[in-house]
Structure 1
């Protein structure tokens, strides 16, 4: 677990609610710029009307006449930024990023102007995927204005985007020394503690941060991780927070808590084959279950280390391994060499092999394993489980409030965006085959354009 990063596409539900923030109007004009305010205002008026080319020309001419004007330099950067968006040009955007950076080096810019320029520079660097440069820009701002909490908070997010949780943690610890009640710092600090598996320690920070109502805290991911932390501590208060997250529009329901969603899809924990429409795929799996089982068992016997341990910190205890054949709609040729007949079965089922938000894999679970209650990341897929080697007693799966068992040679289908939990209390291993498929109500366009997860 690293950054609090949002990958939702335009076709997905994204409800960000920010608390009311009373801000003073920033002071953008220094002493000199006040003397040319009318000319600056005229150029800015063009920009606000969407006339980015004319605004760029106007601010460029102002800089020719008044090369010492920080506000004209900032206006030029904004106009280039606007033009880059209009033309969809990363080259122009790179020019805008450089110009934003030049604002800080102008003679006597106001503090507010420098902060706006460098924050936007960092934001645009992040947009282009230049995360390290963005962090350097924010660090420059922090060095210049060490008492500005908002900049430190943004720097912490930058480190999280880099996957550098340790430096992010240091930043938020500094913030909480300066501002012990800062809700933004608290939720992010709690998130980092949870990522470090300091579950009990994370809870008060996540809880107090959410209760603060500070801008940037009302985010589904924080409700998600607070509830998960409480569940792992055996505290039923988790469902109070899930309910609140649902009421705030972050979760489809208390049970269905995926964060990367397409609105309006049919939602139920368990599905029949007929309801999915994927009858041929299910028939193929059940007809060939022994072939799939035998190839999997041969891999288990011959190839040590090919079943990799579950690595998402979902187990309370036990041993759970997976051998993946398709991931995010891509075939893993190295894996398929070991189970060629199994992989060949899927050639005519793009609803599975093309599911960029899922996997096709073997899953082995040994006795004494308990998988925490958890939800998958998206409502865009359904998950099929084909029983291969199932002990007579002791293995069960709960999805929402309905608990079922596997049977050898039979497929069960559930929506893993709903809370589910697994117990393996048998006296021998359980082997199943997992096949993710696109949610049947997704259009062909959505299947093509949704981002991988």
Structure 2
């Protein structure tokens, strides 16, 4: 399949070597037998990326500056997004997943549709500063950065996301004392307010809020640390083009 984009990838190969995109090419050729059963709902699985459904942030040294900054400013992030909710900010909208939309699941986007949302800078300035600095080099521009608000009683049904070359980093911003849980590959966990967690969302996952308050997390789609610079560049080019052609 990469042959379709050869003219767009020649510069990457000239810069990094002719075999620098072998794993990307293999990903498009891999069949369903090459993946974990609980990744069956994902569309693309790249081999050679170290993964488990839940990942240990402590073992991901490259991410520590980002995680440390997020956790250090978590109280300020909580206050500014709570104020946005109190003020019923126009930046809060129904969350739209590629599988559909839910009225009991809202979002405040900092980045969406491959574009930043500068209008939110005045609404969540502390979060915006993290997005512009520590998060900048990790965020996958194919995907989003947003606050996810699960309203009381909300359920996110089991699903897998599209691929495994990005990971979902979450900062638990405003978490009810009980009734909230996220499960990845049949392993449930609770959010710990002010702390980050990270998982591979190509594995089936689901979540719920059975409390009487909003559950708010900051969700960040980040590149898998095992990707090379060449692979990042190529994946961005290829999937931007696939989206343009298919609307995926």
Pair 1:350 & 2:136 matched: yes
Determine the C-alpha separation between the residues in 2 that align with 1:269 and 1:332.
30
Higher relative contact order structure (alpha carbons within 8 Å, sequence separation ≥ 6):
2
Pair 1:268 & 2:59 matched: no
Greater share of residues in strand: 2
Determine the C-alpha separation between the residues in 1 that align with 2:98 and 2:220.
21
Greater share of residues in helix: 1
Pair 1:340 & 2:160 matched: no
Determine the C-alpha separation between the residues in 2 that align with 1:358 and 1:449.
15
Determine the C-alpha separation between the residues in 1 that align with 2:194 and 2:147.
14
TM-score w.r.t. length of structure 2: 0.77
Match of 1:319, SS state, is: strand
Match of 2:119, SS state, is: helix
Pair 1:253 & 2:39 matched: no
Pair 1:14 & 2:28 matched: yes
Aligned equivalent of 2:70, options 285, 292, 310: 285
**Aligned-pair CA distance for 1:419:** 0.6
Asked if 1 retains the 8 angstrom alpha-carbon contact of 2:94 and 2:101, the reply is no
Asked if 2 retains the 8 angstrom alpha-carbon contact of 1:318 and 1:369, the reply is no
Asked if 1 retains the 8 angstrom alpha-carbon contact of 2:69 and 2:134, the reply is no
Q: State the Cα RMSD in Å.
A: 2.6
Larger CA deviation: 418-427 vs 319-328 = 319-328
**Aligned-pair CA distance for 1:367:** 1.2
**Aligned-pair CA distance for 1:317:** 7.1
**Aligned-pair CA distance for 1:309:** 1.1
Q: Report Cα offsets for 1:297-323 as digits up to 9, x if no partner.
A: 122222444222122375797600011
Q: Highest Rg: 1 or 2?
A: 1
TM-score w.r.t. length of structure 1: 0.44
Gaps of 5+ in 1: 1-5, 17-244
* 1:129-148 superposed matches below 5 A: none
Pair 1:439 & 2:236 matched: no
Determine the C-alpha separation between the residues in 1 that align with 2:96 and 2:116.
20
Between Structure 1 and Structure 2, how many residues are aligned? 215
Asked if 1 retains the 8 angstrom alpha-carbon contact of 2:110 and 2:128, the reply is yes
Asked if 2 retains the 8 angstrom alpha-carbon contact of 1:370 and 1:422, the reply is yes
Q: Which residue of 1 aligns with 2:16?
A: none
